Amino acid sequence: MALAYAYDWLFSTFWIIESKRNDDKVNVYRNMIWPDISGNVLELGPGYAQSLKLLRHTTMKDGSESIDPAFIQAYTVIEPNSFMYGGLQKNAEDNGFRVKYDTLSYPEGAAVATMATNDDSIPFVIVKGTLDEFNNIPKAVLDGAPYDSILTSFSLCTVRNPKATLKNIFKLLRPGGTYYFIEHVRQPKANDPLVIEDNGVNAWFWGKVQDCINPVWKLVGHGCNVNRRTGETISKMGCWNDIDYKYVRPTIDIQSRVMPLSFGRATKAK
């Protein structure tokens, strides 16, 4: 218990710096899909939710930039690491949301929430938990369903059970709703037609490196797996009406050779 607590704290501290570095590398790809996220939204594993700034914004009467209420009506996040909540709440407020904690999963949140009933800014609900177990979804997340948009950004590498998590995501989407994702994955095969930026990377070699380093990576990376084939897992679910995703093999630094990206969207039939 104490160890898990320390592990969560350590990762939350590391992610303050690392998420900024990661955003610099990947926002160009998020920008291809994030502006379409709309309606009643659910995000799994938001961390500090730094990508909120990439959603559609509008200029308010006082000149500030805020999430566009014509585009996004409600935002729920499900995040297991409560050490992230301070930064998460601040980011949500900076983007014009009013924050409420689900006090069933996180009773401590009652003291720090900003949401008042007479406030008409967009609600942002923080739920403590995961979607790891099929058919065991936190009540607050079920109460908010169905969702028009669900998103994951670098969280499927860490979830305990990607297949159950994805089935839950599908279940929580409204008919016609869209799942948006950007995840780091195992190197896709050489000549995979879905690779839009290959950069001459030796896919076979770096894929093997990913397999070799995964046990240590997972231990020091708060449960993160560096070699999941997440794009394939999503597409092979066979339940989507439509799926559109791509791979890129960045070569910005040595770390990015073991972190190719998969990003795109999958839509549930109407």
Ligand X SMILES: C[S@@+](CC[C@H](N)C(=O)[O-])C[C@H]1O[C@@H](n2cnc3c(N)ncnc32)[C@H](O)[C@@H]1O
Residues that bind ligand X (CB under 6 A): 15, 19, 44-47, 50, 79-81, 84, 130, 132, 153-155, 158-160
Task: Copy the structure tokens of residue 201.
Answer: 């990377």
- Nearer to ligand X among residue 153 and residue 187 (C-beta): 153
Q: How far apart are the first and last CA of the chain?
A: 44
Closest contact distance (angstroms) between CB of 247 and ligand X is 18
- Nearer to ligand X among residue 195 and residue 261 (C-beta): 261
Closest contact distance (angstroms) between CB of 59 and ligand X is 26
The set of residues, in sequence order, having a beta carbon less than 8 Å from that of 74 and lying 6+ positions away, is 40, 41, 122, 123, 125, 144
Closest contact distance (angstroms) between CB of 69 and ligand X is 23
Continuous H helices in 136-268: 139-144, 162-172, 203-220, 230-235, 254-257
- Nearer to ligand X among residue 46 and residue 138 (C-beta): 46
Rounded-to-5 percentages of helix, strand, coil across the chain: 35, 25, 40
Contact 152, 41 (CB under 8 A): no
Closest contact distance (angstroms) between CB of 35 and ligand X is 17
- Nearer to ligand X among residue 84 and residue 195 (C-beta): 84
